Structure 1
Amino acid sequence: MSVPATGLPMHSRDGARWIFDPGALCLEFLVTGGPGPLARWETLDRPEGLRTWLADSRLHLDPAQVDVTVAALASARRVRDALWRVVHDAAHGTTHEADDDAGEEAELTPTPEDLAEVNRAAARPPLVPRIAADGTHEWTLPADAEQVVSTVARDAIDLLTGPYADRIRECDAHNCQLVFVDTSRPGRRRWCSMERCGNRHKLRALRARRDHS
């Protein structure tokens, strides 16, 4: 039985391309943008942005079979922004290190309303799973964006209240805010991707050793 591959295709403004697997559906949703300083990455300002994510994410949905209304898109952004704040807090703990820009840190501080937003989304009907003819897992289609967001919110609740809640990490690279859950056995994952930030760190360390040799 084949299992669909996980990992989002990513590309940066400098043209680099790599695969990012954050280890959870809800964390994949965060790459679509976010509150405050993360708004520059916004892709949920149009239905096409959500549809692209549906196909690229571990849901592997046919975007043509998912109804995306203006209201559902706005709800998706609210839930996504609330998730960012809650997940950021889980990754950094209740005490945050001093930041050069306190305003940016405040933008990612969760409120009781953020939890309520996620819970409201999770209370709606989610996507319905099914077994495909070839024995693989798939989702019942057609569906709508509210079902997608409910599925994401339920995944977030499972992650934030489950055994890996203390394994939610932010990439160690100083200029990367991607968040992942470390499901590795030793629990020592540091980078969003070895293809991207991990290799950059190795190259910097190699140059530093050469400069001091």
Structure 2
Amino acid sequence: MTGQWLVSEGTRWWFDTGSLALDFAYTGQVGVDAAAEGAEDEETLRTPDDLTSWLKTRLPSAPATERDLQDALMLRGSIARLALAASAGRDPEARDIDLLNLYAATPDIPPRLAGGTVQAGRTEPRTGQALSTVARDAVALFSGETLGRIRQCDADDCALIYLDTSRAGNRRWCSMQRCGNRHKVRAHRAREAATR
């Protein structure tokens, strides 16, 4: 399952990016200068414990260290820049591809079927393995048929990026709860004003 709760303009709403890698990118600002006013308010990975908490519900692993946090922030930055390039139809930067490939090349969290009697490997995956799993999801996202389905929200005042997983490939909004609803309200008001 993908998606996470975001808060903007004092309203809490569900944003389903359609991708684990994009969810990870949105643990911070995507497409905004980190030094910009208010950018620090969007940062959710300030400490190793923040990273551990975010991974807990998605890819449970050993508690993160300061080094894991630095690795996560580097990986997240590359994923965000690759997503921006893909949504705009631009070629990605080679350095971001190289960094993503580096993380994806490390061992990830192997799949496990519950119910066995013998434990193979570590009982608790390392944080680096969880980051590799995120990186591998990003490699799948930015290659193949999904690449053409990475979109930016159609709302004039929204720049959120998501993977369009709709069957018809016609998703327009980051969230119907947020931008889709605002568009419907504006369209309704315009129709009412036109009939007066």
* Identical amino acids, percent of aligned pairs: 44
In the superposition, the TM-score normalised over structure 2's length comes to 0.84
Partner of 1:82: 78
Q: Match for 2:66: what amino acid?
A: V
Q: CA deviation at 1:94?
A: 2.0
Partner of 1:175: 157
Distance 1:184 1:141, change over 3 A: farther
Q: CA deviation at 1:176?
A: 2.4
Partner of 1:12: 8
In the superposition, the TM-score normalised over structure 1's length comes to 0.78
Q: CA deviation at 1:51?
A: 2.5
Q: Is the 8 A contact 1:31 1:178 kept in 2?
A: no
* Mapped partners of 1:144, 1:67: distance in 2: 8
Q: Give every structure 1 segment of 4 or more consecutive aligned residues whose post-TM-superposition deviation is greater than 3 Å.
A: none
Distance 1:6 1:116, change over 3 A: closer
Q: Aligned runs of 1:1-213 on 2, under 5 Å?
A: 5-14=1-10, 16-34=11-29, 37=32, 39=34, 40=39, 41-56=42-57, 59=58, 61-62=59-60, 65-94=61-90, 110-133=92-115, 141-213=123-195
Q: CA deviation at 1:70?
A: 0.8
Distance 1:174 1:46, change over 3 A: farther
Q: CA deviation at 1:36?
A: 6.2
Q: Is the 8 A contact 1:66 1:141 kept in 2?
A: no
Distance 1:38 1:171, change over 3 A: farther
* Mapped partners of 2:191, 2:50: distance in 1: 43
* Structure 2 residue runs without a partner (length 5+): 116-121
Q: Match for 1:21: what amino acid?
A: D
Distance 1:178 1:55, change over 3 A: farther
* Structure 1 residue runs without a partner (length 5+): 96-109, 134-139
Report the secondary structure of 1:19's partner residue.
strand
Q: Is the 8 A contact 2:31 2:84 kept in 1?
A: no
